[in-house]
Amino acid sequence: MNPEFSNYSVFFDQTPDLVCIAGYDGYFKKINPAVPQALGYTYEELYSKPIKEFIHPADRDKTATVRDELLRDTTLTNFENRYLTKSGEIVWLSWTSQPIADSQVVFAIAKNITQKKQLENDRNALLTNLTEINKGLRHLGYMTSHDLRSPVSNILSIFELIDSSKITDPETLEYLDLFKVCCEDLKEKLDQFSVDLKEKQSLHIPFENILLEDVVNRISKSIGTLLQISQAQVDMDFEQVPSIHSNQTYLESIFLNLISNSIKYKKAGARPHIKICSSLKNGFVHLTFADNGIGFDMTEVKDKIFGFQQTFHQNSDSRGIGLYLVYNHVQSLGGKIKVDSTPGVGTIFTLILKP
């Protein structure tokens, strides 16, 4: 034998791929050890039966069609079909084949892609499940926004019927005005929520130039009573970066959740003090929210702080939703969020966003 080809038999015997020579008559003529190892049959069993009998019944017709094209001197690449092992298990193979018309044989190499197919099936099943969950959540969102808008509109209509001239108590008038402002703000948010649900049908998130001070003022107005009752102090410094190109709804939700969390988790006997600042570092906008609240033990919460329904304090109002929303909003805006906290001292959230 030519020394140049002396190692061919070693390659044939030791390669993990399934290598075979099949005749035009549909039988194996020569196979390497990987074939009986993958299918569980002996050499004698594999040589004595037509190849089609080892193919999964559901793939025999398409394999026969491809085989007819192959015998017309057409090279076959990346053809996938299923075989059945002797124990009845399914093995997925990806074939590359070359016919040799003069010898009436086909040289073929197959890779076992069973694990890859299983991963694909698991992924597709997961995507299907997530799609169904997403549809359900979207339906719930539409239902919630629609069903809540009607009673809120009804309440606002009642305000129009109230004759304030008959109310002589100034404090009562003030409370009515506050209640009306809250209802109007709720209606506005529900209307915007309905619009956002429709926009969420696509991957496009509308961006616009937003003044950061306006965002804080809008949030402060919407939770004015909460700020007043808690005696919270909100300081802002947007001198370095007064505006940002972002999504109005997402940004307002981020500010609302971080500010309200600072009030919710304030230290007993202390007035909440919240500082919101902007700066430009390495081409990115850094928004910091610092408070003097009860803080977190970072060694305990670790990466769970932004998890869904994760709560870390004994607070009856805690649902574990706010920071989850903040994290997902920041991700949707293409940014990052960092947190630094010390129990009894306070917490600093840093948002890193595109300018």
Q: Which of 14-18, 97-101, 244-248, 304-308 has the lowest mean pLDDT?
A: 304-308
Q: pLDDT averaged over the chain?
A: 84
CB contact set of 279 (below 8 Å; sequence gap of 6+):
240, 241, 285, 286, 288
pLDDT at 126: 82
pLDDT interval class at 136 (50, 70, 90): low
Q: Which of 5-14, 205-214, 273-282 has the lowest mean pLDDT?
A: 5-14
Question: What is the C-alpha to C-alpha distance for residues 326 and 253, in angstroms, rounded to an integer?
Answer: 7
pLDDT at 133: 67
pLDDT at residue 190 is higher than 60 = yes
pLDDT at residue 204 is higher than 70 = no
Domains for the chain: give ranges and CATH numbers: 3-112 (3.30.450.20), 114-204 (1.10.287), 205-355 (3.30.565.10)
pLDDT at 245: 95
pTM value is 0.52
Q: Which of 6-20, 72-86, 280-294 has the lowest mean pLDDT?
A: 6-20
Q: Is the CB of residue 286 less than 8 Å from the CB of residue 352?
A: yes
pLDDT at 137: 62
Structure-model confidence comparison of residues 76 and 153, the more confident one: 76
pLDDT at 3: 46
Q: Which of 50-54, 81-85, 178-182 has the lowest mean pLDDT?
A: 178-182
Question: What is the C-alpha to C-alpha distance for residues 263 and 256, in angstroms, rounded to an integer?
Answer: 11
pLDDT interval class at 195 (50, 70, 90): low
Report CA Rg, the chain. 34
pLDDT at 351: 96
pLDDT at 4: 44
Give the tens place of pLDDT for each residue, 235-287: 999 999 999 999 988 898 899 889 988 998 888 889 999 999 999 999 999 99
Give the tens place of pLDDT for each residue, 78-111: 999 999 999 999 999 999 999 999 899 999 999 9
